[in-house]
Amino acid sequence: MIELQHVTKVYPSSPRPALDDVSMQIDKGEFVFLIGSSGSGKSTFLRLLLKEDSPTKGVIKVNDKTLNTMSKWQVPKLRRTMGCVFQDFRLLTNKTVAENVAFALEVINKPQRTIKRVVPEVLEMVGLDGKENRLPGELSGGEQQRVAIARAFVNRPLVLLADEPTGNLDPETSQDIMLLLERINRTGTTVVMATHDYHIVDSMRRRVIELNDGILSRDQSRGVYGLGR
């Protein structure tokens, strides 16, 4: 599903590589936590998977496609197989909940018929039925993140990338979001979640990949956040 072979990423502005000879494999349907302190390379890792950036060295494969050799016009096709969720939700504040989700389908040319069918379905799945016509500003943080997850999932991606999705939420709301991500994972979607939230990592006991100054320092199935904690 996702494969990195000796991937190194050096940004011109910094002498130290953001990722340093990282190799790993994530299989279809896995749930993976990506942990590490700020600046450890988590965001770079996610950016490389989305081909927002290219590695300096090494090979990246997603869905058996080699990203290194992928041409620019093929990138949108790759991203249609991936969903993204962020700490800051990134919703369009002037569009309603339903419009925000529909937007993701409209801009990739899905027929209106399909959009009318799948948007209510996914909103029900994330527990937002009845709030279709609200604006993001009228929702709580947890609800806004549900909208973002609905938007990321509505096109049934193979991979869901989540960059600290609970970073702005209280513990209880975070738990709800994790339940939702687990549910999405059970549909067969691979979930890669970068996080600092050790409560969540420790309670879920899923595979943990830890980055330390760009170096892969731990890859442990059913892991916890930190051994010393």
Residue 92 vs 179, nearer CB to other proteins: 92
* Exposed e or buried b per residue across 18-46, where buried means at least 16 C-beta atoms within 10 angstroms of its C-beta: bbbebeeebeeebbbbbbbeeebbbbbbb
- Beta carbon of residue 185, minimum distance to other proteins (angstroms, whole number): 20
CB of 115 to other proteins, least distance (A): 10
Which tokens is 142 given?
A: 């947890």
Separation between Cα atoms, residue 192 and residue 32, nearest integer Å: 5
Q: Which is nearer to other proteins, 46 or 201 (CB)?
A: 46
Which CB atom, from 25 or from 74, has the smaller least distance to other proteins?
74
Least distance (Å) from other proteins to the CB of residue 124?
A: 20
By three-state DSSP, how is residue 79 classified? helix
State the minimum distance, in angstroms, from the CB of residue 78 to other proteins. Answer: 7
Alpha carbons 92 and 111: distance in angstroms, whole number:
21
CA nearest to 197, candidates 227, 159, 222, 169: 169
Strand bridging mode 31-35 / 207-212: parallel
Between 17 and 157, name the residue whose CB sits nearer to other proteins.
157
Whole-number minimum distance, CB 156 to other proteins, in Å? 12
Enumerate binding residues for other proteins (CB under 8 A): 50, 72-73, 75-82, 84, 90, 92, 103-104, 106-109, 151, 155
- Report the C-alpha gap between 154 and 152 in whole angstroms: 6
Cα gap 48→20, rounded to integer Å: 13
Nearer to other proteins, 28 or 77 (CB): 77
